[in-house]
Chain A
Amino acid sequence: MNLSNLIVYVVDDDAAMRESTASLLASRGYQVQLFDSGETFLAQADIRRCGVVILDRHMGPAALTGDQVFDKLKRQASPLVVLFLSGHGNIAVAVDVTKRGAFNWLEKTLTGADQLLEATAAALVQAASIGDMQQARQKAAKLWDTLTPREMEVAREMRHGTRTKLIARKLVCGARAVETHRLRIRDKLNVGNPAELDRFMRDNDL
């Protein structure tokens, strides 16, 4: 996927932080969108699309914190890659946010412009691969949808290497019919054997 198509969102309540980050990224040719709070970001940004969010963890009183914004993204299964910025922190906080699926965690006082750029670039690569995977999955899902319901049943049995006779007994039909389904599944999904079918289904969450 082309990195230049990806957008970098900057969410920070501090105007200087927002502006400086935007200037830095723009000077490197990235597409940047700025938001002064988590609320406006969630309301206006397209969180279904792949991209990178540079998210400040503390954003003024009575506003959503970075953590809360991150939780909302997770809940909506957004493909966005999250890069946390924090005024100060410690190892425990870092481990916590990373465990919960954040891509990286940067401490403002210790982070130079180069480090920010590096981290952003790495995040963009990650975002691009997520984008690719998203596209592959969409393709696989289309292939999968070409199967008839009966073929889906047979495929779900097949991926575990179950023999034709057993599948026939389980689904209460003839062994010959199962054999036919197996052939059609192989043709439609373009998988050679049960192992390949299993990988296909696992990769694409089917």
Chain B
Amino acid sequence: MLNPTAGPSGAPVPTSARLSLTWIVVLLAMVLLVAWAGQWSARRESAFQADALRRSIDVYALGLRGEAAKFVYLPFTVAQHPDVIAALASPGDTAMRQRANRYLEDVNRRAGSDALYVLDTRGNTLIASNWNQPLTFVGQNYGNRPYFIDAVSGGSGHFYGIGRTTGEPGLFLSAPLRSGTSIVGVVAVKVSLLEIQQTWGKVRDPVMLADARGIFFLGSVPSWMYQSTRAVDATERARIAQHATYGPRDNFPVLPWDVERTEAEPGYLLATKVDGIARRFMALDESLPNLGWTLTVMADYGPVTAARNRTWTVGALIAGLLLLGTMYWRLRERRYAEQRVARQELELRVEDRTRELGQAHSFRKAMEDSLLVGMRARDLKGKILYVNPAFCEMTGYRADELVGKSPPYIYWHPDDLKKHRRESDAVLAGNAAPTGFESRLRHRDGHDVYTMVYTAPLIDHNGEHSGWMSSVVDISEQKMAELRQRKDSEKLQHMQRLASLGELAATLAHELGQPLMALNNFAGAAKANASQGRLALLAGNLDDVAAQAKRAGDIVRSTQVWARPHLRGAESCDLNDIVTSVLAMVGAEIRHHQVRVSTRLDLAQPCVSGVRILLEQVLVNLVLNSLQAMQVVAVELRELEISTDRQDDTVRISVADRGPGVASDVMARVFDPYFTTKPEGTGLGLNICRRIVVENHQGALEFENRPDGGAVFVLVLKSAQ
């Protein structure tokens, strides 16, 4: 697995920091996207609105123009009428005027205009359609009105203002009335725009009409009327007052609009309060050049904001959902990844475990196959669960012939069936000796197999005792060797005896040499004395000869024990006798080693039943060992103490010397065969002694170091009494 905290460059990047950075970037991107989407949707909505505004402004403008254009020819037409001209030409002719009045009344009614009237060149109204109404224009002077001024000077006039007589606003259109080439009067028509205003009022969004100075004079929002979009200076105010455009009003406050324009867009945004409620509008101006007005159409900006908010909400929702989805997805991915990793780890573990098991199995198999020790596992009832190749080899049966069998097993020795059954029961009862027991098996081909069986409880993986595991060691070789050795033992003892004899022979020769040479010398002297007739000396010489011959005879007699040809059976032996005869045998050797001997013999004549020559052999060996041990100490210290005594029903011979004693590191091996501390020793002496004592006489051969120096070997034998 890669380590996520360490990149390839080796610079560790904290996971959480990197992750949160990513998250921040993603969140930021999302916020920006949502914001942009909101803005886009708002722009789109506002574009829609702008389109709608443009369309509606066209309609409104068309309506306005139409209203104006409908009546623009009326003054010209009326100015052509003969009755009107006649009435103007002769102002005193009442009938004429009356005819004209009726004519104007009729036209006015048919045209649907507000009022139709004729002025003289001074501005006095001579004829009017409303001649018979209370608020008639007749007799009124409108000489200050711009439409009059324009018309009397030869042009056509149009003017919007509040009627001086009626106080109602209206559009005034005028045309000069010519008589020949000279202008003799002015025909004017007043058109009310209130119908249009009413139509506008039905529309939800404001529609306003401003004059060239920016003062709203018509519109669907009453509170904005006669207020200005920009400041109206004093000159203009004076002109308005002069023309009495808006009646007596001379103050046109600037509207409290918060206007926001963008270069690219034809429209603009404005924020204001309508009836005390804060509102935002998108507004579009359309100037009407013929009339000198500006038409302002507005649309509520709410839908745009709403669209933006909606988009934002929807975007935020989508983003949130996306986020949640991503988080969920990530979580799921992480869980999947974890599961995948866990699965892979599991697989790896399984693989490892399988391999380990395989290895362990092959290792175990190799181990079991290479074992020379037979292994046999049995359940609690004695059924064989397992045997290894060594065990099969040992018994000659295949594993499948043994596994599943219960006692008595086929390899049990037929002569030892009872013993096998007893031991098997003991093992299954958990009473097996921890040191193992010896067991004789019968190989398939019939030969005997001697084994040592060691048993341990078989504990399964749950810690429960499920059976018994025995290791079976083939000790046939040792057993055979033991038997052979036992057979060889006597031969060996004999050889040892011969060896001891050889050792003694040299000393014996030396010892015999003395009397023999003395004998020779005396004989020589006797011969000389005889020939010279010195009889007294001759007799002395002969006595000496006899004495030396006896001495030589004594020495020879002491060696007769060695000449005994065969071992006799057990007889009653007096240990004191044995000590005495052994001392006689090794006397020469003792002298040769310059050792003093002291004996302390039990007066009660300790007797044992034994083979005398073997006991003598043991004692000779012990004495010779002691003599040799004392060679390394000063002559005056060399002392051999031999004692016999009795303890309860045992009798003992102790051989104590003043040698260096037995070194502690060889104590355990003193009786081992072939173990020796002497340069020319065979290592068999003490081994044979012990076997003579233990095996032939059921006694014991012990030793210890004496506290004041030297060693003591004690021969312990059962008393014959």
Residues of chain A whose beta carbon lies under 8 Å from any beta carbon of chain B: 14, 16-17, 19-21, 23-24, 26-28, 58, 60-62, 85, 87-88, 107-109, 111-114, 116-117
Cβ-defined contact, A23 with B522, below 8 A? yes
Given A16-B544, A19-B544, A87-B509, also A114-B524 (CB < 8 A): yes
Q: Quick check: which of B176-184, B298-306, B588-596 contacts chain A, the rest being far away? A: B588-596
Across the two chains, which residue of chain B brings its CB closest to A109? B513
Across the two chains, which residue of chain A brings its CB closest to B638? A61
Cβ-defined contact, B506 with A88, below 8 A? yes
Determine whether B510 belongs to the interface, using a CB cutoff of 8 Å to chain A: yes
Cβ-defined contact, A23 with B544, below 8 A? yes
Cβ-defined contact, A27 with B537, below 8 A? yes
23 residue pairs of the A-B complex, CB under 8 angstroms, read A16-B547, A16-B548, A16-B551, A20-B518, A20-B525, A20-B544, A21-B518, A23-B525, A23-B537, A23-B540, A60-B594, A61-B591, A61-B594, A61-B595, A62-B594, A62-B635, A85-B517, A88-B506, A108-B510, A108-B516, A111-B517, A113-B525, A117-B524
Determine whether B475 belongs to the interface, using a CB cutoff of 8 Å to chain A: no
Please tell me which one of the listed residues B509, B527, B638 contacts residue A88 in the complex, with CB atoms under 8 A apart. Answer: B509
Cβ-defined contact, B591 with A60, below 8 A? yes
Q: Which residues of A contact B513 (CB under 8 A)?
A: 87-88, 107-109
Determine whether B685 belongs to the interface, using a CB cutoff of 8 Å to chain A: no
Determine whether B339 belongs to the interface, using a CB cutoff of 8 Å to chain A: no
With A and B bound together, what is the CA distance between A117 and B525 in angstroms? 11
Q: Which residues of B contact A24 (CB under 8 A)?
A: 521-522, 524-525, 528
Where chain A touches its partner, the secondary structure class is: helix
- Give, as a whole number of angstroms, the nearest-CB distance from B635 to chain A: 5
Taking each of A20, A21, A26, A87, which has the highest tally of chain B beta carbons within 10 Å of its own beta carbon? A20
Determine whether B431 belongs to the interface, using a CB cutoff of 8 Å to chain A: no
Cβ-defined contact, A109 with B522, below 8 A? no
Q: Which residues of A contact B514 (CB under 8 A)?
A: 14, 16-17, 87, 108
Q: Which residues of B contact A21 (CB under 8 A)?
A: 518, 521
Cβ-defined contact, B525 with A26, below 8 A? yes
Q: For this complex, into which size category does the number of interface residues on chain B fall? A: 35 or more
Given A16-B548, A16-B551, also A27-B511 (CB < 8 A): no
With A and B bound together, what is the CA distance between A38 and B547 in angstroms? 26
- Give, as a whole number of angstroms, the nearest-CB distance from B196 to chain A: 168
Across the two chains, which residue of chain A brings its CB closest to B636? A62
Determine whether B661 belongs to the interface, using a CB cutoff of 8 Å to chain A: no
Determine whether B696 belongs to the interface, using a CB cutoff of 8 Å to chain A: no
- Interchain residue pairs A-B with the least CB separation, the first 8: A113-B524, A87-B510, A61-B594, A20-B521, A108-B513, A27-B528, A23-B525, A109-B513
Given A16-B548, A88-B509, A109-B516, also A61-B541 (CB < 8 A): no
With A and B bound together, what is the CA distance between A60 and B590 in angstroms? 10
With A and B bound together, what is the CA distance between A114 and B517 in angstroms? 11
Given contact pairs A16-B548, A27-B537, A116-B517, a sample of 14 additional A-B residue pairs in the complex whose CB atoms are under 8 Å apart: A16-B551, A17-B521, A20-B525, A23-B544, A27-B532, A60-B594, A61-B594, A62-B594, A62-B636, A87-B511, A88-B509, A109-B509, A109-B513, A111-B520
Cβ-defined contact, B520 with A113, below 8 A? yes
Cβ-defined contact, B636 with A14, below 8 A? no
Determine whether B515 belongs to the interface, using a CB cutoff of 8 Å to chain A: yes
With A and B bound together, what is the CA distance between A60 and B636 in angstroms? 12
Q: Which residues of A contact B529 (CB under 8 A)?
A: 27
Q: Which residues of B contact A113 (CB under 8 A)?
A: 520-521, 523-525, 527
With A and B bound together, what is the CA distance between A14 and B528 in angstroms? 23
Cβ-defined contact, B510 with A58, below 8 A? yes
- Give, as a whole number of angstroms, the nearest-CB distance from A107 to chain B: 7
- Give, as a whole number of angstroms, the nearest-CB distance from A23 to chain B: 4
Q: Which residues of B contact A28 (CB under 8 A)?
A: 528
Q: Which residues of B contact A108 (CB under 8 A)?
A: 510, 513-514, 516-517
Determine whether B512 belongs to the interface, using a CB cutoff of 8 Å to chain A: yes
With A and B bound together, what is the CA distance between A107 and B513 in angstroms? 8
Q: Which residues of B contact A23 (CB under 8 A)?
A: 521-522, 525, 537, 540-541, 544
Across the two chains, which residue of chain A brings its CB closest to B590? A61
Across the two chains, which residue of chain B brings its CB closest to A112? B520
With A and B bound together, what is the CA distance between A87 and B506 in angstroms? 9
With A and B bound together, what is the CA distance between A116 and B127 in angstroms? 216
Across the two chains, which residue of chain A brings its CB closest to B522? A20
Across the two chains, which residue of chain A brings its CB closest to B524? A113
Across the two chains, which residue of chain B brings its CB closest to A107? B513
Cβ-defined contact, A88 with B594, below 8 A? no
Across the two chains, which residue of chain B brings its CB closest to A15? B518
Cβ-defined contact, A17 with B528, below 8 A? no
With A and B bound together, what is the CA distance between A111 and B523 in angstroms? 13
Q: Which residues of A contact B537 (CB under 8 A)?
A: 23, 27
With A and B bound together, what is the CA distance between A117 and B544 in angstroms? 19
